[in-house]
Each structure stands twice: as structure tokens, then as C-alpha cells.
Amino acid sequence: MENENRKTTGTTDKIKGKTNEVVGHLRGDKGQEIKGKAQQGLGEAKNAVGDMKESFKDRE
């Protein structure tokens, strides 16, 4: 269950990040664009952690 929550949170971060990146690009706001890219990276990291925990759990 924890892995599913982490993946859901990671996907949410990726979507919010992409939204921030696009809005920042359209407005010419580099700060918001960079924030969006960082948020997407955080989402990717959360998904990777969830995948890793899942693979270790499968080995048990």
C-alpha cells in the first residue's frame, strides 16, 4: 500500500511539475519553469523509490 501511495504522489508531483513548467514557459517566467522541472524530478525519484521497495518486497 505504501508503494502505491508513493507512486501516486510521485505521479501527482510529475503532473504538477509539468504544469508549472509549461505555465512558466508561456509566461516567460524562468523561475516557475525551473520549479516545474525540479518538481518533475522529485516525482520521478518518488516513483523510483516505490519501484525499488516493490522489487525488494517481491524477493522476500
What confidence tens digit (pLDDT) does each residue in 8-59 have? 889 999 999 999 999 999 999 999 999 999 999 999 999 999 888 888 877 7
Rounded to the nearest 10 degrees, how much is the dihedral formed by the CA atoms of 34, 36, 39, 43?
-130
Contact 54, 3 (CB under 8 A): yes
pLDDT band at 2 (very low <50, low <70, confident <90, very high): low
Instruction: State the DSSP code for 1.
Output: -
Grid coordinates representing 54? 516493490
Q: How many domains does the chain have?
A: 1
More confident residue, 6 or 56: 56
pLDDT of residue 6: 67
pLDDT recorded at residue 8: 82
Write down the pTM of the prediction. Answer: 0.81
Q: State the residue range of the domain holding 18.
A: 2-59
Alpha-carbon distance 20 to 6, whole Å? 21
